Amino acid sequence: MMTNNPFNPDHPGYYHLCSDGDLTPLFIDNDDDYRVAFNLIGACAANCDVVVLSFSIEDTHPHSLLYGTKPACTAFKLMYEDSWAHHVGRTRGTRKDAELDLEILYIDSEEYLLSVGTYSIVQPTKDGKQVMPYDYRWGTGSMYFRCKEHQSIWCRADSGEILKPAHVGDMSVHEQRVILNTYRRVPGHWKICNGILLPENYVDVAHFERIYRTANRYRVFLASNRSRDQIVKEKLAMARGVSLDDAEARSKCHSLMQASYGFKDVRRLTPPQRVRLAQHLWKQFHLNKRQLATLVRLPYAEICKYI
C-alpha cells in the first residue's frame, strides 16, 4: 500500500492533514461550526484531486487521512483553510484564535499509516467526548467494516426517524451555498441529508479498509496505545519546526547563501534556487515553514510543496 518515492511531489502517497489544537482554541464555537467544518471536507474533496480516507472534527482542530500527490494535498489544505477563514470572518467578525494553520505530513511507513488512520478517528473519544468513534457524528468512524444493513448516522433525526437524502442537483444554488458554506460546487448527484453533505459521496471506504485488511486488525489499531500515538505526535512536532529569533534566522540564511552563491541578497536567486535554499535551511536548522517563506521570499504554499 505504501508508495516508493516520497521525494517526488508528483508521486501519490498518504498524508496526514492536521494541526496543533493549542493554536486554534476557538476553532469550533457551536454546532453550526461543526457542520460547516464537516461539510467543507467534502467541498474541498470535490474540487481537489485528493482521496479522503478518514477524518474527524474536534473542538480545536481537524484530522484527516488523505491520498494524493503533495501539490494536490497542499491545494486541499489551502482551500480548507481559506474556506474556514471566510466562514469565521463572516459569522464572528474576527478570526482571532479560530484561523487554521494546518500541516500536511507525508506518511513514510506502514506503521505510521495504520496509526494515523485510526488516530484520525478515535481522537474525539480519547480527548474526553463521551461517545464511541462509530457513533461520533462529526467523524467517519461509523463507516468502516460495517454490515450492509447499517444505517448512516447522518440520515437519522434526533427522534430516531430515518430521513431521506436529497440530491445536490435538485437544490438551488442559494440552498447549496447555505448548506455548504462555500461558493465552490460539488457534483449534482452527491447527496445531502439533515444539513450534512454525506461522506459516502467522497470518502473511499474500500481503500481505507484495504489498509487494515481485516476488521480485527482495524480493531487492534483503533485501541491505539501510547507508543502509536507518540509516532503521530512526534511527526507533527517535527513538521512544526523551530522558530528562531528573526535576526538569528536571517543571519543563518545569509551565511548559507554566501557559502553557496557568493552573495546575501535572496532577490538575486531564481525561484528554484530559493526552494533549494529553503530545503537546506530546513535540513540544517529545522526552521518552521512560515519563517522559511519569509526568509527566501516565496509564498507559504510553495514552501509546503517542497518541504
240-278 pLDDT, tens digit per residue, is: 666 677 788 889 899 999 999 999 999 999 999 999 999
What pLDDT shows up at residue 286?
Answer: 79
Which residues, at least 6 apart from 137, have a Cβ–Cβ distance to it below 8 Å?
34, 153, 154
CA-based radius of gyration for the chain: 21
What pLDDT shows up at residue 23?
Answer: 63
In the predicted structure, residue 225 carries a pLDDT above the cut 50: yes
What pLDDT shows up at residue 22?
Answer: 62
- Contact between 139 and 55 under an 8 Å Cβ cutoff? The reply is yes
Give per-residue burial for 120-135: e unless 16+ CB within 10 Å, then b. Answer: bbbbbbeeebeeebbe
Instruction: Count the alpha carbons within 13 Å of 23 in the hemisphere toward its beta carbon.
Output: 13
Across 79-92, average pLDDT: 91
- Contact between 125 and 133 under an 8 Å Cβ cutoff? The reply is yes
* Distance of alpha carbon 54 from alpha carbon 52, whole angstroms: 6
Across 149-167, average pLDDT: 90
Across 50-54, average pLDDT: 98
Q: How many residues does the chain have?
A: 307
In the predicted structure, residue 190 carries a pLDDT above the cut 90: yes
> Is 17 in a helix, a strand, or coil?
strand
Which grid cell is 145? 467494516
Question: Residue 222's Cα: distance from chain center in Å?
Answer: 19
Confidence of residue 4 (pLDDT cuts 50, 70, 90): very low
